[in-house]
Amino acid sequence: MNDMKIGILTFHRASNYGTVLQAQATVIALQQMGVNAEIIDYRPEYNEKTLRVRKLSQARTIKTALSVLLNRFIYGKQIVKRLQNFQEYIDTLKVSRQAVYTEKDVCEITQDYDIILSGSDQLWNERITGEDMTYFFPFEHPYKISYASSFGVSEISENRKKEIEPLLSSFRYLSVREKTAQTMLEQFLQQSKGEVACVIDPTLLVNKRTWRDQASNSFTPPKGGYILTYYMIETPILRAITDELRKKTGLPVINLKPSKRQILLHEGLNMMWAGPREFLSCYAGAKYVVTNSFHGTAFAINFEVPMYVAPLPFSMAGEVNSRLIDILNRYGLKNRWISELDDVKHLSNAFNLDMLRQKKEQQYEESIQYLKTALGM
């Protein structure tokens, strides 16, 4: 296996904690299996633009211009520092010597690898990638597999199915992150039940000790613990949970992705500037996590921190919420889902650590076994 070389095609360059850390995790997990693996340094513009500060001159509408100005006023230099921290971490990823920018370039560079792997993250979500089909490997290669790839939605159009069916049929092994995607693929690819594996996010293939080693040495969170919030968008339920926990425990609050309201009202320690290493530091010392993020939940599970997870309210909420419910159910944490304001008055303290560890071990073994099979080990 040491002679075999694997190329990973994934999202790895974006100012998003989950995106960058899942890319790192996939490399670490494969290396721990004794495999020579690296990320194909594919740089599509829809990811690259997230690593640049938005300029006022690029705003095409008055609404966008006002948003840019408001962000500058509220966040100031924190945005610049955040992007610098992300870039510094991205620079540590093990990537191909050559950066590539087009599907044609990716096709050429994949010929250097014995196996090419698509995953994880929402690589197959056309709302993110648009017309870019590169993550489906629309070219010849003798050995294609996927790991924990996600569509980001539970249903796709018939036209989309016709478009991707021949591409996915050329994969030797298929695995996805969500059960909804597993069911969908088995149906339209006409695969037998179980032929498409449902595996855990790669961040959960890496233990918390290894993640602690990746954490920031320059940032030390408050001693004695704290409530960590990581909101994709602030909602009344999340705010109520955080307030309730603060009253009950007396613990301080750290906000990983503070809302404009939290910054203006100086609520808690606001860390808009935090990069992936600071993210890991915050999780390592937290007593509680309050979130509506998938990876926010995944890292709470990994670090074994009691979490309270609330739904998202907007149009995409159904899909995102199903991912949150799926990961909580998978780890026996159904009681950590708080979907109504009335539920906040009765927050459950029940957190069965022994059962969580059993579930973690079981899910880990099943996902590693898939990788061993897919890699011919």
User: Is 208 within 8 Å of 188 (Cβ atoms)?
Assistant: no
Length of the chain: 377
Identify the pLDDT of residue 319: 73
Compute the distance between CA of residue 191 and CA of residue 183 in angstroms, rounded to an integer.
10
For the chain, the first-to-last Cα distance in angstroms comes to 8
Element (H, E) at 327: helix 317-330
Instruction: Compute φ and ψ for 178, nearest 5 degrees.
Output: -115, 145
Angle between helices 78-90 and 276-285 (to 10 degrees): 90
User: Global pTM?
Assistant: 0.93
Identify the pLDDT of residue 58: 63
Identify the pLDDT of residue 47: 92
In the sheet that holds 36-39, the strands lie side by side as: 36-39, 5-9, 115-118, 144-146
Identify the pLDDT of residue 31: 96
Identify the pLDDT of residue 60: 67
Compute the distance between CA of residue 324 and CA of residue 308 in angstroms, rounded to an integer.
11
Identify the pLDDT of residue 2: 60
Contacts for 303 with CB less than 8 Å, ≥ 6 apart: 208, 211, 283, 284, 286
- Tens of each residue's pLDDT in the chain, 377 residues: 568 999 999 999 999 999 999 999 999 999 999 999 999 999 999 999 888 766 655 656 776 666 666 666 667 788 889 999 999 999 999 999 999 999 999 999 999 999 999 999 999 999 899 999 999 999 999 999 999 999 988 788 899 999 999 999 999 999 999 998 999 899 888 876 668 999 999 999 999 999 999 998 888 888 889 999 999 999 999 999 999 999 999 999 999 998 888 888 888 999 989 999 999 999 999 999 999 999 999 999 999 999 999 998 876 566 778 889 999 999 999 999 999 999 998 888 889 999 999 999 999 999 999 999 999 99
Would you state the structure tokens that stand for residue 242, as one six-digit string?
Answer: 């955080």
Contacts for 244 with CB less than 8 Å, ≥ 6 apart: 344, 345, 347
Element (H, E) at 342: none
User: Is 149 within 8 Å of 175 (Cβ atoms)?
Assistant: yes
> What domains sit in the chain, N to C, each tagged with a CATH number?
5-49+91-205+362-374 (3.40.50.2000), 208-346 (3.40.50)
Would you state the structure tokens that stand for residue 25, as one six-digit string?
Answer: 């995790």
Identify the pLDDT of residue 227: 97
